[in-house]
Amino acid sequence: MSPIHTSLMLVFLLVSLALFLLLKLNPFAVEQNPLKKRRLYLAGAKLKTAERIAIRLQTLFRQTRCTRKKFLIMMLAAAAGGFLAGIMLFNSIDLAAVAAGCLLPAPYIYLTVKSATVAREEIEGLENTMSVITNAYASCDDVVKAIELYVEEKNRYLPPHLRTVTPFDEFVSEIKYINPNIEHGLYRLAAKIRNRYFAEWTKILILCHYDRRLKFALFPVVKAMNDAKSMQVESDGMMVRVWRDYLLTAGLMFSVIPLMRFSNAEWFSILTTTAVGKLLVVFMLLAALGTAFYVLRATKPANR
């Protein structure tokens, strides 16, 4: 089996897996009990990989106000655009199919970049929450009571049907009714909110649970959250510049192929018809896809 056929089979398997995950098609799935699933989640049971992917996509849709149907349409449009671009650039159905597969993650990358704007609002809301809980803990020296006071204050002026359940509400309920281990509850609270300042703050809270004299170490962490706002603004500017340079580099890399088609038809034929040439083009496409994920990781918000 040639490398091109192997690459095409791999692309087909990835596309099939993406469709199964998006449409929630699982032939081995059994009827789930949502109450049991919730109980296992609060008890500390680990989620499966497919469930973590589903939670990640749901969070992404919520932050960008995108629906599952719109995301599926974007994926199909990206694949169709990649196939047409591959036909125009390479004049080869095999390479066009590989190009379509490499463009499938484009909607996910776009939504992830778009969701980075939520990071600034996340810092502001989390900073206020941490400040209220820190001041309450400094006066009462009780972690659970401080978080409970914040939850009561948050829900005091809201009718029940407008209240939203936050990780802090879940922490109080878990400590009261499921597991009274405060250290375990704080670790779970830190895992539910992806923020490095908040993770450091919860670690200090755990230390304060054993030595209350360390409570004054909480205030510098809250102040660092305020400094993270300006860092986030700089990060947004840097992110735009990095993505601009990446797109410019990728465009220059692939612009050589159509230029070669008109300047040297023999070289273009070798590149798009021979096995070695096709393998080189596939390597270029995979390199562009891999560097896109690398840039996505390098430009993540400063508070995550």
Q: What is the pLDDT of residues 208-245, one digit of tens each?
A: 888 878 888 888 888 887 776 666 666 666 777 888 88
Question: End-to-end distance of the chain based on CA atoms, in angstroms?
Answer: 44
C-alpha Rg value of the chain to the nearest Å: 25
- Within 8 A by CB and 6+ apart from 50, the residues are 21, 26
Question: Rounded to whole angstroms, how far apart are CA atoms 269 and 155?
Answer: 69
Residue the block writes with tokens 């038809």? 265
Residue the block writes with tokens 């704007």? 117
Q: Assess contact for 215 and 137: CB atoms under 8 A.
A: yes
Q: Structure pTM?
A: 0.58
101-110, 129-138, 224-233: range with lowest mean pLDDT:
224-233
